[in-house]
């Protein structure tokens, strides 16, 4: 209850004759006084419905060790005065305040009640309606009484009649059969689960057995292939060394094929390739006076050819493909986002187009930039750091120098040829070579075919020498053995592999190493 509600004087809801002990919520003492009491005592009737209440009060001071009886009052709740609130009240000594359901009461203050607030007149029920309501209530009470009486009669009849256990037994039998059926289904499910687990365990046992067999075979293979593995590792290391050596040789030969040398009496980092000067990604008016457009295009074409070949020898693809077409080379950008409607715009020339337009100049410079990015990618594949990608020839010279450097001796070029080419060469030479006759003379057709070869060529001289050797061997009568010696691996037109060699898809068309 808020203070605003307590500060207002309310009208009591309990009439004086209706105030009982059950309505009492609490008692409080205000303005405690230790004056001598009147020492009147009386026995409490302890009747709940009684309006009288005996109040005894004990007190204890801080200096005292025991409680002292202070006062005793027999209060008639019907004589209490409604006070409503405790605010702004001057209580006399030992004033008792009673807390009832509808507010605060006391004997020491006059009753202050407020007039009820005016309210609008509410229409009530008529006499006939009230009588109908009373009759309806009486009918309801009569129906409730009749229901109770019938229930008592039914219970009495049920108690007096003997119980029939047949129906209960039938219900119990049905319930038992239901439980039995449920248990049977549970047993069948458990049996199916057991069979499944058995099959699973059997499959697992078989799988474990097969796994152990496979493991034993694998261990046996590992034990048998340890030596092969060591030999394969050594072979792989040797092959890697050979690959590195061949790369060194190829890069060294590329340095000889495409010589990159500094330009004398020129600024630092000025190089030329095949005696064609190439500036460092800068072609302005001052450079155009010294280097013409044709020289610049030819130099860029050589650089594009060298870079394109290096990607195969170093086994590192270029991010921007190069098309080495001499002085009309170009680079392609398939990475950048461009409109798909004009695919030809992805090709950027490595030469200055005619006309001198700004767009053509920009496309040329971008193509040169793509070439420098390809060179940078090749340097990064070899672990080299490029300081400035605009230095085209210095970066390429640095890459070739590092790839061809090494402490070991550069391996020689492998001897051999492509098998597919050997068959054609052999057929041409055999058709133009005279076959030995029994009388030591050659056929006229072979001489005419040999005459078709160009006189003075190395092939003509070789064929003539081979014909003389065959004729000389035929005269000695050892044609078969002589032919085997003459057609050996060391002969000029002999095959680089034996007669028992097999042509396969894997080896056909590859070079055959005959160096021993």
Task: Decide if pLDDT at 84 tops 80.
Answer: no
- Give the angle subtended at the CA of 445 by the CAs of 444 and 448, to the nearest 5°: 90
Domains annotated for the chain, with CATH where assigned, are 3-106 (no CATH), 258-404 (1.10.418)
In this prediction, what percent of the chain has a pLDDT beyond 70?
Answer: 68
Residue 436: alpha-carbon gap to chain centroid: 78
Task: Decide if pLDDT at 184 tops 90.
Answer: yes
The CA-atom distances, in angstroms, between 108 and each of 7, 20, 83, 96, 111 are 19, 20, 10, 8, 9
Q: Tens of pLDDT along 352-382?
A: 877 667 888 888 889 999 999 999 999 999 9
Task: Decide if pLDDT at 128 tops 70.
Answer: yes
Q: Tens of pLDDT along 455-504?
A: 444 454 555 555 565 555 555 554 444 444 443 434 444 444 445 544 44
Q: Map residue 373 onto helix, strand or coil.
A: helix
Distance between CA 87 and CA 188 in Å, rounded? 83
Task: Decide if pLDDT at 67 tops 70.
Answer: yes
Instruction: Pick the more confident residue, 117 or 207.
Output: 207
- Which residues, 6+ apart, have CB-to-CB distance to 473 below 8 Å? 436, 479, 482, 483, 486
Q: Tens of pLDDT along 211-245?
A: 999 999 999 988 888 888 889 999 999 988 888 88
In this prediction, what percent of the chain has a pLDDT beyond 90?
Answer: 31
Asked whether the beta carbons of 378 and 310 are under 8 A apart, the reply is yes
Average pLDDT, the chain: 76
Task: Decide if pLDDT at 515 tops 80.
Answer: no
- Is residue 173 very low, low, confident or very high in pLDDT (cuts 50, 70, 90)? very high
Asked whether the beta carbons of 96 and 27 are under 8 A apart, the reply is yes
Distance between CA 320 and CA 382 in Å, rounded? 18
- Is residue 341 very low, low, confident or very high in pLDDT (cuts 50, 70, 90)? low
Task: Decide if pLDDT at 426 tops 60.
Answer: no
Residue 511 gets which letter from DSSP? B
């Amino acid at each position: 209850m808020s203070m605003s509600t307590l500060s207002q004087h309310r009208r009591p809801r309990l009439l004086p004759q209706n105030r009982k002990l059950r309505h009492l919520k609490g008692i409080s003492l205000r303005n405690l006084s230790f004056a001598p009491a009147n020492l009147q005592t009386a026995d409490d009737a302890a009747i709940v419905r009684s309006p009288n209440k005996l109040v005894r009060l004990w007190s204890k001071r801080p200096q005292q060790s025991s409680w002292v009886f202070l006062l005793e009052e027999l209060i008639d709740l019907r004589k209490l005065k409604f006070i409503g609130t405790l605010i702004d009240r001057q209580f006399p000594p030992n004033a008792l305040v009673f807390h009832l359901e509808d507010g605060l009461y006391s004997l020491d203050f006059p009753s202050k009640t407020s007039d009820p607030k005016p309210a609008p007149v509410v229409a009530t029920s008529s006499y006939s309606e009230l009588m109908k309501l009373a009759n309806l209530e009486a009918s309801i009470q009569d129906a409730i009484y009749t229901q109770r009486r019938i229930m008592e009669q039914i219970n009495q009849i049920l108690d007096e009649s003997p119980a029939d256990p047949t129906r209960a037994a039938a219900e119990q039998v049905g319930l038992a059969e239901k439980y039995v059926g449920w248990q049977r289904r549970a047993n069948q499910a458990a049996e199916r689960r057991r069979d499944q687990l058995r099959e699973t365990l059997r499959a697992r046992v078989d799988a474990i057995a097969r796994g152990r067999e496979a493991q034993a075979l694998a261990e046996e293979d590992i034990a048998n292939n340890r030596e092969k593995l060591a030999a394969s590792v050594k072979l792989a290391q040797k092959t890697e060394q050979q690959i590195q050596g061949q790369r060194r040789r190829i890069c060294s030969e590329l340095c000889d094929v495409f010589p990159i040398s500094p330009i004398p009496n020129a600024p630092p980092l000025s190089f030329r390739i095949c005696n064609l000067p190439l500036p460092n990604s800068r072609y302005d008016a001052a450079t155009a006076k010294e280097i013409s457009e044709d020289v610049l295009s030819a130099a860029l074409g050589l650089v594009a050819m060298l870079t394109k070949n290096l990607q195969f020898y170093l086994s590192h693809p270029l991010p921007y493909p190069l098309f080495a077409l001499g002085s009309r080379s170009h680079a392609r950008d398939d990475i950048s986002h461009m409109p798909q409607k004009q695919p030809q715009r992805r090709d950027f020339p490595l030469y200055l187009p005619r006309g001198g337009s700004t767009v053509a100049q920009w496309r040329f410079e971008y193509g040169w930039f793509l070439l420098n990015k390809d060179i940078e990618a090749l340097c990064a594949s070899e672990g080299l750091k490029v300081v400035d990608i605009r230095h085209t020839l210095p970066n390429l010279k640095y890459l070739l120098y590092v790839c061809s450097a090494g402490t070991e001796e550069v391996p020689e070029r492998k001897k051999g040829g492509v098998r597919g080419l050997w068959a054609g060469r052999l057929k041409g030479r055999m058709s133009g070579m005279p076959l030995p006759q029994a009388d030591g003379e050659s056929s006229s057709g072979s001489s005419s075919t040999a005459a078709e070869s160009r006189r003075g060529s190395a092939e003509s001289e070789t064929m003539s020498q081979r014909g003389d050797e065959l004729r000389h061997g035929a005269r000695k009568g050892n044609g078969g053995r002589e032919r085997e010696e003459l057609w050996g691996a060391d002969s000029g037109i002999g095959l680089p592999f034996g007669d028992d060699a097999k042509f396969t898809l894997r080896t056909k068309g590859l070079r055959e190493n005959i160096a021993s």
